[in-house]
A and B are shown apart, each in its own frame.
Chain A
């Protein structure tokens, strides 16, 4: 088993990047990363088979919990949308032509509901299969599928609204490539 330091060195970037795209705030992401590792160090991981899946589960749960707490203020706001008219959509106007940095993508990601964000992050950042995500987040496979589907649709809309050119990318079929990777691992 890895020492704590090895574990930290091995997964610090994955954990931080996940937190960053989940909460979209560098300093909160840093605090969350530290929290996640403290939790990892405190846990007995001798019996853990899928180390990365386990780490990502804890990471995503920490982020969702954090967002939940942060959201309690916004809950009443969203329950009474009429009361808070007018402000929506303004940030889009301010966005400029070049939209390439991680910062901007974190902004787009943050327009998605947190639970959808979690699914997309696990799927497209960490390459987990739908079935793995289902186990990891303890939600039914159908829900993972529908959240992925909905998330991609929403994201497409968000990108379009923001005027981002969705880059045409050639070729490789994601599912096939994914299978290829799995085959190599085995």
Chain B
């Protein structure tokens, strides 16, 4: 045993240095909430709502995760988002086949009634459909359930929990679903579904007198709900797009009562859809909430467009956790479920990405891809499954926190699609993106000034324009290519070794988004000249594709079930 082990062992067991909490008080808390009663093979009693709960809120860092969730749920007022199960058609398929498990359990808190209706449980996921009846509400008000989790008796809960809901004007209630990657280990399992709290939010808007023709940084005072001010800078993206890069500073001493801030544009009073590719919630240097949003220039003509900052404001929370004890079963699904081990490379002769497994259930088909390296980017942007002539489009899901080398492609299963072991299935990847990190030639930026200057270089055979200029004390470097096959430069740095300064990208630079313009800023840049390098660039080949037959089974794959 070496010294590190000894030191570690001594430290971890040294009671004298440990500041223990007041365990008696903890016991009292648990006793008051009825958790210490001798138990129990029957858990149904914990169902009864305890009236005088002195709940110290169990700290679940849900608020943190909310930061990066940029799903504009609130846009539901303005746009028609289609049916609740849009994008989850496999759930509808299962419901149509009567494969759902009826739950019909309700709990009412402060006049808000939460009802779990149906569970759909299979080898891939668990989905629970619910509704919220909330009584009277204003048009800009929305109730939501927060911190929903599933926990099995052994204390295991799931990764990838997600809930989505929308207002159902016909029935005057919110309909929603909760989706989790958790599935029962055995055919049937007892689980507890916990809703940490329920929250009422309202959509708020503030006028933003934004000048989209100005390239300068524009600052707006907000002074509401702890939001202090907002800085917005407008960048040209190619010929017909604009990027709005924004940063909101907020007063962290005031409890956060806002969420999902974003810029919305109104043309003639009608909301304008922003272009896809926006990114929200990345913390800035000083903890700001930053966002990048894209608009088509044609959609927001100067003088006819009004800009507003829209955000959700928390009006009220019901902080009394709700527990439902459920017995979930995947039995009904079993006859339609198949698992096959694939072990086939995604691309012929390339062992870096291996198709690992296919799981077919009545609601979904999942194909997993394991990469040689962790956090590796899948080489293709779009994935399809051809099942006996029917083509399904897949969506990419990055792996759970546990397995950074695993990617899953999910295909929702439409109705009337029969799949047996003999059904021909082909997996196809399209739109290849390749990363190149071998070009370490610097570009020389000379005579750096407020004046925009452009130099054109060849990178990987593509012409790339480097435009650089100073605004105040900051140096901006924009890179862009007219050739759409150039995917963009991810990030730049000036100088090498210890002296190097790393540029801060203000564009989101997603790979494979058909946008190769990137902007880096160097704050407080001093000097007239610089040698600038890139970390890597990508090239896009929208036409490239790879096809892998998954069924009927070939010699190097085998069925496990």
Contact = CB atoms under 8 A, between A and B. Distances in A.
A146 interface: no
A83 B505 contact: yes
Contacts of A33: 21, 26
A102 B17 contact: yes
A70 interface: yes
A6 to B, nearest CB: 11
Interface stretch (B31-39, B301-309, B466-474): B31-39
B35 A38 contact: yes
A102 B490 CA distance: 41
Given A41-B35, A69-B65, A83-B505, A166 B4 contact: yes
B23 A58 contact: no
A83 B282 contact: yes
Interface string B453-496: 00000000000000000000000000000000000001100000
A83 B68 CA distance: 15
Contacts of B21: 16, 26, 29-30, 33
B78 interface: no
A21 B29 CA distance: 23
Contact of A102 (B8, B14, B156, B398): B14
- A-side interface size class: 35 or more
Contact of A42 (B8, B27, B43, B58): B43
B75 interface: no
B138 interface: no
A56 to B, nearest CB: 11
Contact of B58 (A31, A61, A82, A85): A31
A143 to B, nearest CB: 12
Contacts of B64: 70, 72-73
B3 A31 contact: no
B327 to A, nearest CB: 15
Contacts of B56: 31, 34
A27 B59 CA distance: 8
A181 interface: no
B46 A42 contact: yes
A76 interface: yes
A37 B1 contact: no
Nearest to B66: A73
Interface in B314-370: none
Contacts of A3: 38
Given A42-B46, A82-B490, A152-B4, A61 B68 contact: no
Contacts of B10: 169
Given A42-B43, A155-B8, A16 B20 contact: yes
A62 interface: yes
A28 interface: yes
Given A82-B535, A83-B491, A105-B12, A174 B5 contact: yes
6 contacts: A4-B38, A20-B18, A78-B375, A82-B535, A124-B8, A155-B8
Given A61-B156, A75-B398, A124-B8, 15 more contacts: A13-B15, A30-B21, A30-B26, A35-B58, A36-B155, A66-B60, A68-B401, A76-B282, A82-B535, A102-B17, A121-B12, A124-B5, A125-B13, A167-B6, A167-B7
Interface of B: 1-15, 17-21, 23, 26-27, 29-30, 35-41, 43, 46, 56, 58-62, 64-65, 67-68, 153-157, 159, 282, 375, 398, 400-402, 490-491, 502, 504-505, 535
